Amino acid sequence: MATETFVVAYENKEGDDGLLDYAIARAKKDGAALLLVHILEWSPYKFLTPQEIEERHARRKEELTRAKEVILDPALAKVSAAGLQADCRIRYGSVVELVAEIASEAGASMIFVGRSGTQSMTARIFGSVPLGLAQIAPVPTVIVP
Amino acid sequence: MKPIQVIPRAALPLLGAALAALPAQAQETAHSIDEKINEVVGNITGPFVNFIFAPFPGTSFPWIVLWLVIAATIFTLYFAFVQFRAFPHSIALVSGKYSDPDDAGEVSHFQALATALSGTVGLGNIAGVAVAVSIGGPGATFWMILAGLMGMASKFTECTLGVKYRNEYADGTVSGGPMYYLSKGMAERGFAGFGKVLAICFSIVCVLGSLGGGNMFQANQAHAQLANIFGDYPGWITGVIFAAIVFAVIIGGLKSIAQVTEKIVPFMGVLYVGTALIIIAINYDRIGWALGQIFDGAFTGLGVAGGLVGALIQGFKRAAFSNEAGVGSAAIAHSAVRTKEPITEGFVSLLEPFIDTVVICTMTALVIVITGVLQVDAETGQYIWNAELGRVETLGDVSGVALTSAAFGSAISWFPYVLALAVILFAFSTMISWSYYGLKAWTYMFGEGKFQEVSFKVLFCLFVIIGAAMNLGPVIDFSDAAIFAMALFNIIGLYFLMPIVKAEMTSYTSRLKSGEIKRYA
């Protein structure tokens, strides 16, 4: 039985393999379980056309299925194959806020997040997920290059 | 009716230059195409318009306006002034205070309201109000606000039913609206056959409404504003350009155009109201006078032909055309929201007539009155009535969107250019929304399928051209008639189904009080 839980903010973008490998290595060392968190960026204030509104429920179902089957299931299999306890959460909303919230709810002791890998103007003005977590994370956060 | 007047401006950029280069003969041919379209379409729509606006026997009051006023009054009383009592709760719902975080990713109350508003806020708020005030005088504004406030109860009723009786398909898509509650809800009450007839009748006029108010009127006024800025040129040119863009979006699937428009439209709405507030603030010394004109005009007419009744008819007509309360169109947009409680969407939807009519339309009316573009006889203090045109004399002898433009332009000279952009975007977003409403009614009648969808969409595009080419008179009359005809069948159904809404409201309110309905934020 794992004594503590590490949260991994898992996007499945390029470089997230390294993030997962690092989190697995640290969890093995500390005897921790991994909680993989995948957030689908969503704002309840985003404008939708009537057609998009009609199809939204169906699209959401598809998006959730895809996130589970294509993104999280292979990652969970990798964590389990390493002999670690693994669980996952998929949520809609703001990535930074939800990762911090789930870490608190799960009583996690650490968060692992991949670096954003971008220097775009948008990231400079509005920040990125690692920067956001650095500001509001309730527990120590590791940014994995 | 006299065609809309235009004010040629000194600056005629691209379009004006291009048109000036057209040989005179080609321009004449172009205008004669306009006239032909006017004649043919005007003749076809005439009898329908005459029937819808026939006066109540022995009076000059169109029976259909009375129909709408009575319905709004009945719903207001039946639901014990729900529009005022539930207003704070509506705001809480829209701001997501009662939204389950587990439902994130579904259509929120805010999104349903914003989408419905983008179909509603359009030229009715800019051009329609100008028409009301120039025909009915400033007093029309008072009745328009009153109609907006009462219309909130109609909207509440229809949108609750829209969610309650929507169709949810196996693939997760949703279809709702009066067609569905009229057939399913009425069947539940034991009137299956009658309900089906109402649903079909509603669908027919909904298709006509989408081609009229949701399309031709928008194209017509967008052209009027463009002609106002760039100089007179044939309407069919605007029509063809608009039709091509609408075609690209609704048939070609060019979602990017729709998405860009939908993002700019709310910004334009804020800009419009903000500018109106600035103009009102600049003329702060005339605010009291303008409000006095609106109030006096509501009961005396201030020299406008028809007096109180004239102002009242215009006010109610324009309010109904602008906020569509009782018409049933918004129920189609609101019905897709993800909620376990249909009544919550009713509460949210009642904000729509408030924003549309009580806020935005009133801003337009106040700017028109306060800037003095309606001509007043200096000696009598009464408005100068032009019997030939059937409206008050205006500065520059303009009507419709050109009058609103003149009013804004008299305070801020460059604003007509911004207004032209706003008009085009409002027109476009309203067209996209109404092409969807019309399509839903069309497929309700003819069944789902690629052929049915494409045939309606092509028809819709053709009407864009017709709308832009016609004079304001026949277009606005047909638009009004089609929209009001929707209200005819929808409201009959609402009377039968309002006890169901009341039961929903009673149950919800008691659970809200007991704390069973949870507040999340």
* Boundaries of every domain in chain A: 4-117+133-144
pLDDT digits (tens, 9 = 90+) for A57-94: 888 999 999 999 998 999 999 999 999 999 999 999 98
Q: Out of B96, B104, B174, whose CB is closest to A54? A: B174
Name the pairing type of β-strands A141-144 and A110-114.
parallel
Q: What is the pLDDT of residue B321?
A: 76
Q: How far is CA B437 from CA B150, B154, B205, in A?
A: 24, 18, 11
Radius of gyration of chain A (CA): 16
Cross-strand bridge partners of residue A88: A36
Classify residue A3 by its DSSP letter: S
Is B178:B427 a contact under the CB 8 Å cutoff? no
- The encoded tokens of residue A40 equal 């689908």
Q: Which residues in chain B land under pLDDT 70?
A: 1-32, 253-259, 261-262, 301-307, 472
3-class secondary structure, B96: coil
Sort out which chain B residues have CB atoms less than 8 A from A40's CB and list them.
105
Angstrom distance (rounded) from CA B20 to CA B14? 10
In angstroms, the separation between the Cα of residue B482 and the nearest Cα of chain A is 21
Q: What is the pTM of this model?
A: 0.83
Classify residue B62 by its DSSP letter: B
Sort out which chain B residues have CB atoms less than 8 A from A60's CB and list them.
105-106, 172
Cβ contact, residue pair A56, B338, below 8 Å: yes
Angstrom distance (rounded) from CA B204 to CA B441? 7
Sort out which chain A residues have CB atoms less than 8 A from B436's CB and list them.
49-51
Sort out which chain B residues have CB atoms less than 8 A from A54's CB and list them.
173-175, 336
- The encoded tokens of residue A112 equal 């692992």
Q: What is the pLDDT of residue A124?
A: 61
Phi (first) and psi of residue B508, to 5 degrees: -65, -45
Quickly tell me which residue has 């998405």 as its tokens: B259
From chain A, which residues contact B within 8 Å (Cβ)? 40, 42, 44-51, 53-61, 63-64, 91-93
Q: What is the pLDDT of residue B306?
A: 63
Is B129:B405 a contact under the CB 8 Å cutoff? no
Q: Which residues in chain A land under pLDDT 70?
A: 1-2, 14-15, 116-127
pLDDT digits (tens, 9 = 90+) for B438-464: 999 999 999 888 888 899 999 999 999
Other Cβ atoms within 10 Å of B513 Cβ, number: 9
Angstrom distance (rounded) from CA B321 to CA B155? 13
Three-class SS of B256-270: HHHHHHHHHHHHHHH
Single-letter amino acid code for the residue at B10? A
Three-class SS of B363-417: HHHHHHHHCCCECECCCCCCECEECCCCEECEHHHCCHHHHHHHHHHHHCCCHHH
Angstrom distance (rounded) from CA B209 to CA B437? 9
Angstrom distance (rounded) from CA B133 to CA B24? 37
Sort out which chain A residues have CB atoms less than 8 A from B333's CB and list them.
50, 53
Domain A4-117+133-144 - what CATH class?
Answer: alpha beta
Cβ contact, residue pair A51, B436, below 8 Å: yes
Other Cβ atoms within 10 Å of B14 Cβ, number: 8
Q: What is the pLDDT of residue B6?
A: 33
Q: What is the pLDDT of residue B1?
A: 35
Angstrom distance (rounded) from CA B29 to CA B71? 48
Mutant choice from B106, B339, B432, B453 vs A, greatest count of A C-beta within 10 A: B106
Q: What is the pLDDT of residue A116?
A: 66
Sort out which chain B residues have CB atoms less than 8 A from A41's CB and list them.
none
Is B350:B90 a contact under the CB 8 Å cutoff? yes
Phi (first) and psi of residue B393, to 5 degrees: -65, 140
- The encoded tokens of residue B79 equal 């639901």
Name the pairing type of β-strands B385-386 and B391-392.
antiparallel
Scanning every residue of chain B, which has its alpha carbon at the shortest distance from the alpha carbon of A41? B105
3-class secondary structure, A140: coil
Is B140:B318 a contact under the CB 8 Å cutoff? yes
- The encoded tokens of residue B66 equal 């009375």
Element (H, E) at B79: none
Radius of gyration of chain B (CA): 22
Cross-strand bridge partners of residue B392: B385
DSSP assignment of B162-179: HHHT-EE-TTS-EE-SHH
In angstroms, the separation between the Cα of residue A119 and the nearest Cα of chain B is 26
| Check: complex ipTM more than 0.85 | no
CATH architecture of B26-514: Up-down Bundle (1.20)
How much is the mean pLDDT over chain A? Answer: 86
| Alpha carbon B237 to chain centroid, angstroms | 24
Single-letter amino acid code for the residue at B147? A
Classify residue B216 by its DSSP letter: I
Sort out which chain A residues have CB atoms less than 8 A from B159's CB and list them.
none
Cβ contact, residue pair B172, A58, below 8 Å: yes
Angstrom distance (rounded) from CA B209 to CA B330? 13
Element (H, E) at A6: strand A4-9
Is A39:A9 a contact under the CB 8 Å cutoff? yes
From chain B, which residues contact A within 8 Å (Cβ)? 96, 99, 101, 104-108, 110-112, 114-115, 118-119, 168, 171-175, 255, 258-259, 262-263, 266, 332-333, 336-338, 432-433, 436-437
Other Cβ atoms within 10 Å of B89 Cβ, number: 18
